[in-house]
Structure 1
Amino acid sequence: MDLYSFAPIAAVLDAAHSVITALIGLLDPVAGGLAAALAVVLVTVVVRLALLPASIATVRGEIERRRLAPRLAALRKRYSSNPELLQRKTMELYSSERVSPFAGCVPALIQAPILSVLYALFAVTVIGGHPNALLEQQFLGLPLGTSFLHAIGAGSPPLELLVFVVLLSGIGLVAWFSRRVTQRYTQSSADEVPAAVRSMAGILSWMPFLTIVFAALVPLAATLYLAVSTTWTLVERQVLRRVLDPGPGAAPVAQPS
């Protein structure tokens, strides 16, 4: 079953399609051939701004887990031989600090389906039983419904392929910065994290680079969306971490009893 043909999702997609089509019409007198691409950027930014409260909650949860990491490590060291007592002491710590073990996870889960629908708007060829008119628009000579892989196979001119190269290179650069800043941010608590978790985190830190491969396979509209969205996420996380995280010296960390 096609998920995007499910009635509620299809209705949301159809409404979003109508909005972006109208937006392209409004931008066309001013932006001309760039109207469709500009509409993709604007819709992406508006949705990300609307999801800002969820992003704040996600970063707050990340900060809380980072703050408690040394105390959780001390508990693991002290009660490693008694798993039941370790679990009880761990939950007591979360309770006393009024922090949920899943802090920030729920807001992240809320964002996922919304951003998935937004991505579908830029990638699905048929919406509400009719062709996705957005994918018929062009950006710098390339149809927004054309993928990088298809453009290569069709023998598109080098200048047109350069559009994809620039976008994919930008996504790759953002992925590299994202990995670097995340590693730097979590470095201070790395020693308190179990080795298995550190190993898994190291593997997952490379996941953003898969976006480059994905972006090369989807329509240009979706590639443009991914470029904007990944850049937005990088900048947003950095700003929120600086604003919301007082830093390790802001308050002393008491040792667990």
Structure 2
Amino acid sequence: MPSFLDAPVNGAYHLVSWIATTIEPLTGLYAAAVAIVICTIAVRLLLLPLSLAAIRGERSRAVLMPEIRKINERHGKDPERVQREVAKLQSESGTTLLAGCLPMLAQIPFFWVMYSLFSTAVVAGEANQLLAGTIFGAPLGIHWPLFASTPAYLGLGVLLVIVAYFSSRRQVRQLDDSASPMARRLARLLPFGTLATAAFIPLAAGLYLLTTTTWALLERTLLLR
């Protein structure tokens, strides 16, 4: 593990361990897994201002789409002019195409810390006790089994597919009539990328991924009515 990750991983280890110890009388063997869910929800709450900004940006872009289409029709043969005009329109409206990416980008450090935490046998100079945590008998530090399936990974995969399915439907519905077939195809398929990611990360990081994607789906469903 790179040395610059030592401090955040050590801090995350003590925090998750403390939460797991606190809730263990109620959750038993699932204390570490529940602690991960609690930490993920806490991260999403911290990022709520960015999520709200992203949602406002999506609404603003929906309002601007007719104007952007007019710019493309008027200056379609001059890509640089289109770029300048769209940038000017966004500046005047106070929105940006990058706003929707902010919550995802801001989560990368948290996800990487969670990945490192459950991929390291020794943390803060001691054996990583969190690796003893399990879900349906599968250790939280295990990666996708190559030759055998486990109930935990099967359940994780099914839940990720369900969340990806509804996320995909929602993203396609958000596209307007001018969206290209390629854009529609990407909107339909990209949410299922979580399944590919889950195949290369520890079960604990997969649980983080499931929790955060479920939160994002519910957040947008409730706030973008």
TM-score range, shorter chain: 0.7 to 0.9
1:1-257 → structure 2 map (5 Å cutoff): 4-7=1-4, 9-83=5-79, 85-106=81-102, 108-149=104-145, 152=148, 161-186=150-175, 189-191=176-178, 193=179, 195=180, 199-200=182-183, 202-203=185-186, 205-242=188-225
Work out the percentage of aligned pairs sharing the same amino acid: 35
> Where does structure 1 differ by over 6 angstroms across 4 or more consecutive aligned residues?
none
Aligned-pair CA distance for 1:115? 3.4
Q: Deviations over 1:61-86 (max 9, x none)?
A: 22222221111111111222445544
State TM-score, norm by structure 2: 0.85
Contact 2:136 2:151 in 1 (8 A): no
Change in 2 beyond 3 A, CA 1:150/1:185: same
| Aligned-partner Cα distance in 1 for 2:88–2:35 | 49
Residues 140 and 204 of structure 2 are in contact (CA less than 8 Å); yes or no, is this contact kept in structure 1? yes
Structure 2: how far apart are the matches of 1:52 and 1:28? 28
Alpha-carbon separation, structure 1, partners of 2:200 and 2:170: 27
The whole-number CA distance in structure 2 between the counterparts of 1:108 and 1:128 is 28
| In structure 1, distance between residues paired with 2:166 and 2:36 | 24
* Distance in 2 separating the partners of 1:113 and 1:59: 22
Structure-2 change in CA distance of 1:134 and 1:199 (3 Å): same
CA distance in 2: counterparts of 1:35 and 1:14, whole angstroms: 19
Deviation at 1:125, TM superposition (A): 4.1
Q: Deviation at 1:235?
A: 0.9
Q: 1:20 to 1:151 in 2, by over 3 A?
A: farther
- Superposed displacement of residue 178, structure 1: 0.6
Give the whole-Å Cα distance in 1 for the aligned partners of 2:102 and 2:69. Answer: 24
- Taking structure 1 as reference, are residues 88 and 114 closer, same or farther at Cα in structure 2, changes over 3 Å only? same
Which whole-Å CA distance do the structure 1 matches of 2:177 and 2:125 have between them?
51
Unaligned runs of at least 5 residues, structure 1: 243-257
Counterpart-to-counterpart distance in 2, 1:115 and 1:86: 36
Q: Give yes or no for contact 1:55–1:108 (8 Å, CA) kept in 2.
A: no
What RMSD, in angstroms, separates the aligned Cα atoms of the two structures?
2.5
TM-score, structure 1 normalization: 0.76
* Contact 1:172–1:212, Cα closer than 8 Å, also in 2: yes
Which entry has the higher C-alpha Rg, 1 or 2? Answer: 1
- Residue aligned with 1:68, SS: helix
CA 1:117–1:60 in 2, change beyond 3 Å: closer, same or farther? farther
Give, as a single letter, the amino acid of the residue that structure 2 aligns with 1:224: L
Q: Distance in 2 between matches of 1:131 and 1:204?
A: 43
Secondary structure at 1:149 match in 2 = coil
The code of the aligned residue for 1:112 comes to: I
Preserved contact between residue 51 and residue 103 of structure 2 (Cα < 8 Å): yes
| Residue aligning to 1:247 | none
